[in-house]
Amino acid sequence: MIDLEAVRRVYPDGFVALHDLTLRIAAGTTLALVGPSGCGKTTTLKLINRLLTPSSGRVLIEGHDAAAQDPIALRRRMGWVVQEAGLFPHLTAQANVEIVPTLLGWDAARRARRAAELLELVGLDPRQHAGRYPAQLSGGQRQRVGLARALAVDPPILLMDEPFGALDPLTRRRLQEEFRALQARLAKTVVLVTHDVGEACYLADRIAVLDAGRLVQIGTPEQLRAAPASDFVAAFLHRQPGAT
Amino acid sequence: MTGRLLCAALLAGVTAAVAVAADPASSTPPRVVVGAKKFTESAVLAELMAQVLEAHTDARIERVVNLAGTRVCFDALRSGGLDLYAEYTGTGLRDILDETRDVGGAAAVYALVSETFRSRFDLVWLAPFGFDNTYVLMMRPARAAELSIQQLSDLAAHPLRYGMSHEFNERPDGMPGLRRAYALDEVSTVGMEHDLAYQALAEGAIDVSDGYSTDAKIVAFNLQVLHDDKHFFPPYEAAPLARADLFSRVPGSEAALRLLAGRIDAATMRRLNFAVESERRTPADVAATLLRELGLAQREIAAAPTATGFWSLLWQRRWETLRLTGQHLVLTGVAVLAAVLVGVPLGIAASRRPRLSTLALSAAGIAQTIPSIALLAFMLPWFGIGVRPAIAALFLYGLLPILRNTVAGLRGVDAQLLEVGRGLGMAPRDLLWRVELPLAAPVLLAGVRTAAVISVGTATLAAFIGAGGLGDPIVTGLSTTNTDLVLSGALPAAALAMLVDAALYGVERAATPRGLKLPS
């Protein structure tokens, strides 16, 4: 469970990236953060894993203030998936997946077992793909490796920043379907940043619409469709017809 | 704050480099270091002094030859890096004491320098060897006889073609003074290179030129030296110049060196220089022969078989070349290793702090702009002569490419990857070792390669401060116009540079992560 309590983020130049955001993500559910570019989606995500620090307000992870915890240990309990996967180009697919287990000091055999298991979970054949470098993988394959890497030590929380943004429509669709099936089995607490309302409606239990650093509306996809809180929300939903 | 940090790091590097190269502790027989400047006569005189000491004392003699010049020798003597070398009284007077007044004849000059050096520097001028290596004017004997010219005052009566070395034309104690002393105001001179002037004189293109009284080329070209009947040129008597403590430290050393006093006249010295420069004999061999003739030592030095042609010289010197190559590799290896040990951590720190980066890069950049010879000379007051100042200078040269490429390599790492690493829970140390350094490795190692190649090249100049290496035959060859000898050092040095370059290129390729070599 993740709680944001009046979280504000102000840049040194005085620009307010986030205005007193309060929201709760219940354990095992998926929240999508949507909104136009620069609305504060990614900022929110980075405040949760402490890549950024709130100027005021609190972030609670399972009821404990994130600011009071060791940021490195905190991040290892949260999977982190970014656009275009962000794989390390000098490491093989397997080594990329094994990063956090390596940091935690797992032995090689255990790491290799886990990597193979995860590559299979995300739909890759370990015998074929484990030894490949990112440059030798397709965009979709890289994104799958990125997801496997985030799941490596089975973290309860998954933070995803435009995870399927750079893929072609067909591959994106397949990965979305597979992720939905996966999430049904794994029941992680997921925060998904996307600018694609269709993706948000398809994958998320609830959607938070942000505009210029403010939370405009939060609710299930159905609630948002039925009763958009403002013209902005209605327009935003309308402009990008849902995928479902 | 960062400035002090930087200075401390630099100092630590230099000190570490020097500590590694520290000389072994001296053992029971007293050790005497004899120095020589980078020209034939100085090397022959050093050999004479060294062999006389070997024959008459129990000291262990070390020779440090090819030193860059008066300043290097004199500073080394004062700081204890050398115990003695052969110096010229006129040089002591003009260059070291900066005395421009006319002091008088040879005896007066000798008396002045020996008294002043004793009281001011605690250095001792022993009795001169017996010749005066001053400026002389020379003509072809046939031409001189034709005009019946024997001394300088005979010159004014004839219209002659003068080809003078550039330095002689400019120095106040050269041509300008000579014009006044011998009424040569009407004479016009052509400035030319010293070596070319001999050639021009021999071929009759000019009638008069300047030289040094003990130049081997006076013998080689069979030239006539004109008598300085008005004693215009100041005396440059050669004599052993030694630290005062040498004589108390090595009993019998003073008496041994005095055996040489007055035994070598200008003709003899010219013959010795000729033997080295034209007959290609070693200074050691030439010195041993003379000492046998004088009955001062009986040592036989195997005369080096005169190599006919370049390839046989190369073959003949193969073991010597191998030894010098070893020295060369130690010099550059230690210096580059120290530069890596300092440059890489400094580069890592600098890549994180823009201010430190600017400071460190400009400091290393300044070191880079100092000409190699000057940088080597700057190290002498701190490290004396020999291997240590050479390593210190090469270390400073190696620092910039390593520092710059470390910073560039680390700054070139994709910022998004670093954020991903942090987001995954990598500590700064993990990020450095697992992401930043592997990704920066190709650029970083290219810097090490540049530093190593520069170092191999620059190390040839280390011979000037007594550090040995492949520069030794180059410097000796240059001073004796022995091109083959120059090449016997220059070719292995060039080959070494290419080998080092190729080897480090291999390392660079091997260290480049495979994932980065693939087309993406």
Report ipTM (2 d.p.).
0.91
Report the pLDDT value the prediction gives residue B181, as an integer from 0 to 100.
87
Instruction: Please name the member of A51, A88, A103 whose beta carbon is closest to the beta carbon of B423.
Output: A51
Percent of chain B with pLDDT over 90: 53
B285-337 pLDDT, tens digit per residue, is 999 999 999 988 877 666 555 566 788 888 888 899 999 999 999 999 999 99
Report the pLDDT value the prediction gives residue B449, as an integer from 0 to 100.
95
Q: Between chains, do B426 and A72 touch, taking CB under 8 Å as contact?
A: yes
Beta-sheet pairing, A189-193 with A157-161: parallel
CA angle (B505 as vertex; B501, B506 as ends), nearest 5: 120
Report the pLDDT value the prediction gives residue A242, as an integer from 0 to 100.
43
- State the burial class of residue B127 (Cβ atoms within 10 Å of its Cβ: 0-12, 13-18, 19+): middle
User: How many C-alpha atoms does B482 have within 13 Å on its Cβ side?
Assistant: 31
Q: Which residues in B lie closer than 8 A to residue A88 (C-beta atoms)?
A: 417, 420-421, 434-435, 515
Q: Distance between CA B434 and CA B513 in Å, rounded?
A: 11
Say which residue, B215 or A22, is predicted with more confidence.
A22
Q: Between chains, do A88 and B424 touch, taking CB under 8 Å as contact?
A: no
Supply the pTM of this predicted model.
Answer: 0.75
Based on C-alpha coordinates, what's the Rg of chain A? 18
Residue B21 pLDDT > 90 = no
Q: Distance between CA B132 and CA B244 in Å, rounded?
A: 24
Instruction: Please name the member of A46, A51, A135 whose beta carbon is closest to the beta carbon of B515.
Output: A135
Spell B168-189 as b/e; 16+ CB within 10 A means b: bbeeebbbeebeeebebeebeb
Q: Between chains, do B420 and A134 touch, taking CB under 8 Å as contact?
A: no
Q: Distance between CA B203 and CA B219 in Å, rounded?
A: 15
Q: Which of B314, B381, B275 is nearest to B47 (CA)?
A: B275
Q: Distance between CA A179 and CA A185 in Å, rounded?
A: 10
Cβ(B223)–Cβ(B140) under 8 Å? yes
Q: Between chains, do A99 and B422 touch, taking CB under 8 Å as contact?
A: no
Q: Distance between CA A131 and CA A128 in Å, rounded?
A: 7
Say which residue, A123 or B5, is predicted with more confidence.
A123
Chain A stretch 18-47, residues whose beta carbon is closer than 8 A to a beta carbon of chain B: 46
In 3-state terms, chain A is what percent helix, strand and coil (to 5)? Answer: 40, 25, 35
Enumerate the CATH 1.10.3720.10 domain ranges in chain B, comma separated: 318-517
Q: Which of A152, A176, A174, A150 is nearest to A80 (CA)?
A: A150
Report the pLDDT value the prediction gives residue B9, as an integer from 0 to 100.
55
Q: Between chains, do B439 and A86 touch, taking CB under 8 Å as contact?
A: no
Q: Smallest CA–CA separation between B516 and chain A, in Å?
A: 6
Report the pLDDT value the prediction gives residue B502, as an integer from 0 to 100.
95
Neighbours of B70 (CB within 10 A): 17
A201-231 pLDDT, tens digit per residue, is 999 999 999 999 999 999 999 999 888 888 8
Locate B518 and state its tokens: 């693939």
CATH class of B318-517: mainly alpha
Q: Distance between CA B312 and CA B290 in Å, rounded?
A: 27
Percent of chain B with pLDDT over 70: 92
Average pLDDT, chain B: 87
Which of the 8 DSSP states describes residue B240?
A: E
Tell whether domain B135-225 is in CATH 3.90.550.10: no
Which of the 8 DSSP states describes residue A17?
A: E
Helix (H, G, I), strand (E, B) or coil at A18: strand
List chain A pLDDT tens, one digit each, 244 residues: 899 999 999 988 989 999 999 999 999 999 999 998 888 999 999 999 999 999 999 999 999 999 999 999 999 999 999 987 799 999 999 999 999 999 999 999 999 999 999 999 999 999 999 999 999 999 999 999 999 999 999 999 999 999 988 788 888 999 999 999 999 999 999 999 998 889 999 999 999 999 999 999 999 999 998 888 888 888 888 765 444 3
Say which residue, A48 or B100, is predicted with more confidence.
A48
Cβ(A21)–Cβ(A35) under 8 Å? no
Spell A121-138 as b/e; 16+ CB within 10 A means b: bbbbebeebbebbbebbe
Cβ(A100)–Cβ(A76) under 8 Å? yes
Q: Which of A212, A162, A168 is nearest to A191 (CA)?
A: A162
Give B139's strand partners.
Answer: B224
Chain position carrying tokens 């099936």: A181
Tell whether domain B24-132+236-306 is in CATH 3.40.50.11540: no
Q: Distance between CA B398 and CA B362 in Å, rounded?
A: 14
Enumerate the CATH 3.40.190.10 domain ranges in chain B, comma separated: 24-132+236-306
Q: At B314, phi and psi to the nearest 5?
A: -60, -45
Helix (H) or strand (E) run with residue B498 in it: helix B483-511
Report the pLDDT value the prediction gives residue B252, as an integer from 0 to 100.
92
B451-510 pLDDT, tens digit per residue, is 999 999 999 988 888 888 999 888 888 777 778 888 999 999 999 999 999 999 999 999
